[in-house]
Amino acid sequence: MGLMAETIKTPDDIWLRWEESREQPGAWQLKRRYIKGFLVEGDNGPRYAVSVFEHGKDGWRGSTAMVAQPARSPEARQRYIEQQRDGFLLYQK
């Protein structure tokens, strides 16, 4: 949980994007998407993890938090992160 909190406190990226409300189709809200990558120590050495949270007028929502499979290449991990980046870049570390 501490690593996920770091996503909000010290993100690598923050993106702004408009999203249609699931509860009220036709109503749009501006959301901020916080993205952070981590190296997490494991039994077989460090593993890469990523966490994504969104904030809008309806509050905070976790989008994804996962540890990559060890067999995933750095390029595959980067492609996954690029898919999480959507909208307009507000902040980048």
pLDDT band at 24 (very low <50, low <70, confident <90, very high): confident
Write the pLDDT tens digit of every residue in 56-73.
888 888 888 888 777 777
pLDDT surpasses 80 at 30: yes
Q: Can you give the pTM of this predicted structure?
A: 0.82
Q: What is the mean pLDDT of residues 17-21?
A: 89
Q: Can you give the pLDDT at residue 55?
A: 93
Report the chain's C-alpha Rg in angstroms.
14
Burial of 11 (0-12, 13-18, 19+ CB in 10 A): buried
Q: What is the mean pLDDT of residues 3-22?
A: 89
pLDDT surpasses 90 at 89: yes
Q: Determine the 3-state secondary structure of 36 from DSSP.
A: strand
